[in-house]
Structure 1
């Protein structure tokens, strides 16, 4: 008996020492080893602080920046991303900081950026996702490897230009309803103050619902409301110290996040079921995104043959639900941010607003723009690209080195995260000239590739094989909506507008986007 007790005590001691060694390795030895590997190559940055990394400084700078508005200029980087800007200014365009126990490289070299995003060696993927992100969606943007490739192959046909051409009349219905609603509010003489941020969000949600899912905005309205609440709660949790397993503790906010995720999934499942029933009954088209996903999987055919032919090249209903979440989030949030900032910027620059209006009237008159007409709106396209440069919805892109990889003249050890700061690169005077902080759509008069000193300097939708699948969808929606607004209204900033761009998953106006609308 005595020997058995000694054995148990020895085993417990061994396990305790093993656990302590693993913890010590994770929170000290590995981070310090990675830090030495980077510093030997001349890469400077913040010193390692066990567990918390630079979270305290990051939150401090963000809170300070967001606590006050800025002047009405387009030099928004100090307010939107003060931590990355400060780090780059102090340590250089290739520098490092810490996200918990993981070193993260800031890379502002466009050739190195190209190497990373092209990922020819296959050593880069998205960083390990915070489990809180996965509560929002496990769709295309969060996938890797063959699973990502399979989803991309299935979804891609819905975004071919010929499909998008068919969607333009559907987009126009949503835009037309918004225009008519605004006309009922705006007097024929005088002006009407409106916060266009929620209005444009509603428009983008309606477009996604109609064009991608075949349902009206009203049917999906509750889904969007719940997703917005879930986004806020998720972002709030991500700006505090992440403690593994804490999300399972039944706090009030954790329980609310869990319930929101469950309700969103349930609502989308109902929409999908209705779509399947309507397709089977011949009451719904199958050329929208949801219809194509279901058709590709034979999910609308319940015959023995269909069941037997399902393979790894098909999505499950659960995967379809996650892709619906993805496109509700990405399609609605990105385009609404882009359009809102475009109207704010044109309110600041009435000369360009008038140039765009005259082009729209010359090409379309007062008629509803069609797909061909949108292709002739050169000034509108220049304006939209310049707004994307100054106010990109996603202010940075992130990668993770899963294997040791050579990038340019440096070696990125396995386990290092990488930040490609889109906003900083889009505002870099070395790439865009001394007037990089100014609104000058004429930069894009000869096209995107000739707008800057480097062809890779403009990448609002990403670059390489993982370029955003919905960029053409977003561009057509933005062109059509802006053209229709310009046909019917002029606008300037309201005296109550406060210029305060900030990021909650995407770049948005912190205190709204109040403008004064005039009917034409």
Structure 2
């Protein structure tokens, strides 16, 4: 028998086995679903060969800057008032939901039956290692116990680092005003990403990469980029992670020598910092007491090294925190100014409140407590997180057979059966743009909507989960909100007007977080000193 014949026979037998095992699995699931009183959710029809057309669709949507809207389009394609559906490609099947009660079940009610997808580790680890955002079970508990104490209030309420780097940003020549008081048109998006990179690296490693002193790179394809720049390699590497993520369990087939180069440069930079800390000479007890009497600036690597000397663990944990902290906060800052530039009433109201509560002194002290208590500033940030959804999609997979309370049957009111191993996407952006939840003005930027919006126990409700929920809720949430608030206050103390110089079209760039894909191009008017 020829090799070709053997190969053909093997392929046919594999197909028969796959069809048979799929049929058996479906029969078992149908029986279990009936036993639990569940009904099937609606299904998004497959498109193209083996359903691969849907992957092509979402890839195209990302290039066009409308990935979050694409999910809303798919809900509408499945049917009117559909909030949960099933989709598939190849042999891969998942559930997509924008139902707050399903989110509650995933993050709270049935939380023990859901975990992050095991594919996340495969996708992230080549660049970001295996740490708190990819670990599961006991490994995750270890990471959480290691990191959570480092985000206590006394650490994040030290605003000296924020002040230092915000002033570096405000002193850039790009933000200097002309004789008429206006700055030239400037894109704030890359400036904020540089700022949050500098703050994050100083908080994590005790040493900033000082990206604000370099020419901002507005995109990873910029020919003027510096190939030795850590920020560039991290950014370029993450674009590959997004591509890998589209292919789920098949992500290992996505590979590139360029991606390998980016990973190597990112690791080299962090490894040098870790090695430097681990090789730090020990001090005597007397020297230690003298040092402890001096004011010391907190940085995460130094604290973690007191609990573990494993260089790989130190690299992975700090790198994953860096990725999350820099991206989400930088993107959030960009969106804040994007919407304030398009809503002059909100800008004027916020600036008046800031001047009233914090004064016009552009370098005056800002206390952590006053910053937290500035209600309208908090409402502006909440509304930005709602309309822009910095984290537009969250995901989990079932660790055992379980149930979601809604989505099944003709009207979606019946529970649906979730077999062990099925992946669920929680479409945050789609959930935060449901007119039946948020009102007819759901598309409007309206910070005032938060004045009376409170759920049980003061919780905003399960329809708004910008930092996730449950036991894996983002440990850096308060750090991100503090940094964002601080930057907004300093900018509005200095500038009394803000104008957009771009079109009104929203364009999303989605990798790990939603950014304004066309940047945040504005002109700002500098207020008279003391005004």
CA distance in 1, matches of 2:10, 2:90: 26
Give runs of aligned pairs for residues 21-170 of structure 1, distance below 5 A: 23-24=18-19, 28-29=22-23, 41-47=39-45, 52-53=50-51, 55-60=52-57, 63=60, 66-67=63-64, 77-78=68-69, 81=71, 84-87=74-77, 89=79, 92-118=82-108, 120=110, 122-129=112-119, 131-137=122-128, 138-166=130-158, 168-170=159-161
Query: Over residues 446-484 of structure 1, what are the superposed CA-to-partner deviations in whole Å (9 max), with x where a residue is unaligned?
Result: 465379997211110001111101000000000001111
Q: Would you say the 8 A contact 2:46–2:53 is kept in 1?
A: no
User: Which residue of 378, 381, 406 maps to 1:384?
Assistant: 381
Report the secondary structure of 2:519's partner residue: coil
By how many angstroms is 1:262 displaced? Answer: 2.0
Report the secondary structure of 1:295's partner residue: coil
User: Which residue of 432, 439, 454 maps to 1:433?
Assistant: 439
Which residue matches 1:225? 232
- 1:242 to 1:151, Cα distance in 2 relative to 1, 3 A: closer
- Cα RMSD (Å) of the superposition? 3.5
Query: Over residues 279-318 of structure 1, what are the superposed CA-to-partner deviations in whole Å (9 max), with x where a residue is unaligned?
Result: 7467995732111111122x3xxxxxxxxxxxxxxxx321
| Runs of 5+ unmatched residues, structure 2 | 1-5, 213-227, 406-414
Which residue matches 1:373? 370
Report the secondary structure of 1:394's partner residue: coil
- Asked if residue 293 in structure 1 is aligned to residue 311 in structure 2, the reply is no
Give runs of aligned pairs for residues 397-412 of structure 1, distance below 5 A: 397-408=394-405, 409-412=415-418
- 1:31 to 1:422, Cα distance in 2 relative to 1, 3 A: farther
Give runs of aligned pairs for residues 74-473 of structure 1, distance below 5 A: 77-78=68-69, 81=71, 84-87=74-77, 89=79, 92-118=82-108, 120=110, 122-129=112-119, 131-137=122-128, 138-166=130-158, 168-181=159-172, 185-189=176-180, 190-218=182-210, 222-239=229-246, 243=250, 246-247=253-254, 254-278=256-280, 280=282, 285=296, 287-297=298-308, 299=309, 316-365=310-359, 366=361, 367-408=364-405, 409-446=415-452, 449=455, 455-473=461-479
Q: Would you say the 8 A contact 2:341–2:498 is kept in 1?
A: yes
CA distance in 2, matches of 1:150, 1:291: 18
Q: Would you say the 8 A contact 1:61–1:82 is kept in 2?
A: no
Q: Would you say the 8 A contact 1:224–1:328 is kept in 2?
A: no
Deviates more, 1:29-38 or 1:195-204: 29-38
- Structure 2 length as normaliser, TM-score? 0.80
Number of residue equivalences: 479
Q: Would you say the 8 A contact 2:392–2:428 is kept in 1?
A: yes
Q: Would you say the 8 A contact 1:172–1:368 is kept in 2?
A: no
Q: Would you say the 8 A contact 2:342–2:499 is kept in 1?
A: yes
Query: Over residues 402-461 of structure 1, what are the superposed CA-to-partner deviations in whole Å (9 max), with x where a residue is unaligned?
Result: 211123233211222111111111111222122222111112224653799972111100
Which residue matches 2:222? none
By how many angstroms is 1:126 displaced? Answer: 1.2
Report the secondary structure of 2:118's partner residue: coil
Report the secondary structure of 1:210's partner residue: helix
- 1:68 to 1:109, Cα distance in 2 relative to 1, 3 A: closer
CA distance in 1, matches of 2:432, 2:358: 32
| Runs of 5+ unmatched residues, structure 1 | 1-10, 70-75, 248-252, 300-315
Report the secondary structure of 2:127's partner residue: coil
Q: Would you say the 8 A contact 1:374–1:480 is kept in 2?
A: yes
Q: Would you say the 8 A contact 1:385–1:441 is kept in 2?
A: yes
Report the secondary structure of 2:442's partner residue: coil
- 1:49 to 1:518, Cα distance in 2 relative to 1, 3 A: closer
CA distance in 2, matches of 1:16, 1:58: 24
Query: Over residues 328-370 of structure 1, what are the superposed CA-to-partner deviations in whole Å (9 max), with x where a residue is unaligned?
Result: 2100100011110010000000111111111111111122423
- 1:429 to 1:13, Cα distance in 2 relative to 1, 3 A: closer
By how many angstroms is 1:498 displaced? Answer: 5.2
